[in-house]
Structure 1
Amino acid sequence: MNRIIALAAAAALSLAAAPFATPALATTIIKAGHGTQTAHPTHIALQKFADIVAEKSKGDLKIEIYPDRQLGEEREMVEGLQLGTVDMAVVSTGPLVAFVPALGTVDLPFLFKSSEHAYKVLDGEVGQDLLAKFQDRGIVGLAWWENGWRSLTSKKEVKSPADLKGMKLRTMQNPVHIAAFKELGASPIPMVWGEVFTSLSQGVIDAQENPVTIVYSNSLWEVQKYMTLTRHVYGPHLVLFSQQVWDRLTPAQQTILKEALMEATTFQRQTSARLETEQLKLLADKGMIVEQVDITPFQEATANTASAFKNIDPAVVAKIKAAAN
């Protein structure tokens, strides 16, 4: 009995002398959704972003990526940001005008002269002011990524606005885009992206408009014969975060995310430009007829699109156009 007591006492002393074990810190997981395929530059850049965040946070933060509308269609993801059920999302401007009407400004046709012009505006005062407007909607606007320059795809050849007359053309659920295509003579049909391929194959719609990377990564050459390089709208992707989730992060974690996004933004834009060039050639290899077109009549037909929208400030439009100089 004395031996048992002695052993117990020794064990107790040993435990008392041992240093307390430091509990493992729990990893904060951030679920990031987007609506594009895994071959799209936004998905590739999110992977890069996740790697940077993991390295900078030493594993404290982990980004889990959910592509191809796994967290819902784009509008559903934005609503999820407001509710705190979606942590982070990268979405096109299509559904966002309903939340921040002034965002329609960047959707005006032929507003930007080049990608460099767009970057200058979106990374500058105009773009940052637009991102700040999301705060009133319970969303943190963090960065402007690139979906690309939007062009037309169709079942028949399009050389001028006259060729669009009566054409059933899918657009995003974006009133600015819808108004522009009405001015061009088309019959725009707003439709969520998940329905587009089937609608094209079944003849519900005749045409659609999107950047090269979307056309290629979704195999639209199977249901569209022509791609007309109108490049009528520069299409951003916005990196958004739920305000509820953001506020639960520490200041240090928020800083890591912002710094990582700066690196990932440059990478995303470079990847977008590279893939557009590569995939334009691949579309032709797949049998799609890719054509240049004189955009002047398209510009003239849509010159007054902005005047129909009270939330588009002419002074801001003038500032954007002046930045091209």
Structure 2
Amino acid sequence: MKKVLSMIIAATMALAISACGAKNETPAAPTTPSAPAANSEGLLGASSATVRFKVGTTTAPTGHYVKGLQEMQRLLESKSGGTMTLDIYPNSQLGNERDMMENVGMGVQDMVLSSTGPIPNFVKEFAVLDLPYLFETAEDAYEVLDGEVGESLLAKLDSQGIIGFGFWENGFRHVTNNTKEIKVPADLKGMQLRTMENKVHMAGYEALGSIPTPMAWGEIFTALQQGTVDGQENPLAIIESAKVYEVQKYISLTGAFYSPCVLMMNEAKFNSLTADQQKAFTEAADEAKDWQRNYSQEYDKKAVESLKSLGITITEVDTSVWAEAVVGVYDKLDSFGIDASLVKQIQDSLK
């Protein structure tokens, strides 16, 4: 597929060059780069930049993904003297996460900031991060994701023609619905719950008694409005910034899954940069990761109070009860393609 795509692009470029030559034998004088056409959210980088990276995400412009990308945009422009920037496309403008990841691997799209939800479809080892109650705190997650385990997982993305530049923050995922307050797993029985297209998450919610219904993020708001599903689960930053609270009046802080997101770039695109450009990009990505994690944690704290002020019922639960209810998921590691020794490595590192 990549070879066919390359041939098509090469042929198209050849025709374009030939056509230009036929019209004008005199080379055009160099011009100052013009401002790029604005996307619908107006999140494009400096017009003076000559190296631009098109990055997509599914979250809202006010969400924690985009805020982190805007910080990276600022850092990259600063470190490169204004010659490099990001053009940010939020709200699924470039497609859903799975499609964007595939496009990045093919080189059709430069970058994506995606939750880990679709990644096991391409690199099965990432499924270990989807296990319920694997991490108790965000700090536990950072310790693992910034260490040997995280580095080994990111390295496996090269099989898809992708380079991973670290784990950013999505957050602990909580359950919402518009019917009743959810306190214990039994309260979820028979409830149709939107989840990501992720076998481990689905198994977890099945163990909790709900009916998991995988659905792309771009479809969820309408599905909740129309009652196609009863509820959904996501980090507070997503629930608040995407205004899920407009159609969901109950939030239970179950935190069953810690969900990181990964900044990914087409490998050939990165390799085409000079050593100085690669250094500026890598530093900007790393610093933006730390900034975005801090921003996300602060966002969560403020979101709780903001949602309460809107009349949303927020329920704290005994997570030990919920963790006990999903312990059977750990007996099915083989069916998810998860290496039990990797799970043990993570658990031992956090003792």
TM-score of the superposition, structure 1-length normalised?
A: 0.90
Letter in 2 for 1:170: R
3-state DSSP of counterpart to 1:45 = helix
User: Could you tell me how far apart the structure 2 residues matched to 1:91 and 1:45 are?
Assistant: 12
* Residue in structure 1 matching 2:125, options 102, 114, 120: 102
Match in the other structure for 1:18 = none
* Residue in structure 1 matching 2:314, options 277, 290, 295: 290
TM-superposed deviation, 1:24:
7.4
* Residue in structure 2 matching 1:206, options 208, 224, 230: 230
**1:150–1:209 contact (8 Å) kept in structure 2:** yes
**1:144–1:237 contact (8 Å) kept in structure 2:** yes
User: Could you tell me how far apart the structure 1 residues matched to 2:30 and 2:315 are?
Assistant: 64
Match in the other structure for 1:92 = 115
Match in the other structure for 1:126 = 149
Structure 1: segments with no counterpart, 5+ residues: 1-20
Letter in 2 for 1:271: Y
**2:60–2:90 contact (8 Å) kept in structure 1:** yes
Aligned length: 305
Match in the other structure for 1:12 = none
**1:306–1:312 contact (8 Å) kept in structure 2:** no
3-state DSSP of counterpart to 2:327 = coil
3-state DSSP of counterpart to 1:121 = helix
TM-superposed deviation, 1:127:
0.5
TM-superposed deviation, 1:306:
3.0
Residue 347 of structure 2 is aligned to residue 321 of structure 1 = yes
TM-superposed deviation, 1:244:
2.5
Match in the other structure for 2:173 = 150
Letter in 1 for 2:86: I
Residues 18-39 of structure 1 show CA distances to partners (whole Å, capped at 9, x for unaligned) of: xxx9997971111111111111
User: Could you tell me how far apart the structure 2 residues matched to 1:102 and 1:79 are?
Assistant: 17
Residue 201 of structure 2 is aligned to residue 177 of structure 1 = yes
TM-superposed deviation, 1:251:
2.2
TM-superposed deviation, 1:247:
2.1
Match in the other structure for 2:323 = 299
Structure having the higher Rg: 1
User: Could you tell me how far apart the structure 2 residues matched to 1:278 and 1:241 are?
Assistant: 31
Match in the other structure for 1:11 = none
3-state DSSP of counterpart to 1:309 = helix
Letter in 2 for 1:28: V
Residue 227 of structure 2 is aligned to residue 238 of structure 1 = no
3-state DSSP of counterpart to 1:298 = helix
3-state DSSP of counterpart to 1:227 = strand
Residues 240-268 of structure 1 show CA distances to partners (whole Å, capped at 9, x for unaligned) of: 00112122222221111111111111100
Residue 295 of structure 2 is aligned to residue 271 of structure 1 = yes
Over the matched positions of the two proteins, sequence identity in percent amounts to 41
TM-superposed deviation, 1:302:
0.9
3-state DSSP of counterpart to 2:157 = helix
Match in the other structure for 1:33 = 56
* Residue in structure 2 matching 1:136, options 152, 159, 170: 159
Instruction: Determine which structure has greater relative contact order: mean sequence separation of CA pairs < 8 Å that are 6+ residues apart, divided by chain length.
Output: 1
Runs of 4+ in 1 over 3 A off after TM superposition: 21-26
Match in the other structure for 2:285 = 261
Match in the other structure for 1:166 = 190
TM-superposed deviation, 1:299:
0.7
Residues 127-154 of structure 1 show CA distances to partners (whole Å, capped at 9, x for unaligned) of: 0100011000111111100011101101
Residues 64-85 of structure 1 show CA distances to partners (whole Å, capped at 9, x for unaligned) of: 1111111111111101101111
User: Could you tell me how far apart the structure 2 residues matched to 1:286 and 1:195 are?
Assistant: 24
User: Could you tell me how far apart the structure 2 residues matched to 1:169 and 1:298 are?
Assistant: 16
User: Could you tell me how far apart the structure 1 residues matched to 2:307 and 2:319 are?
Assistant: 21
Residues 177-220 of structure 1 show CA distances to partners (whole Å, capped at 9, x for unaligned) of: 00111111110000000111111111110011000000001111
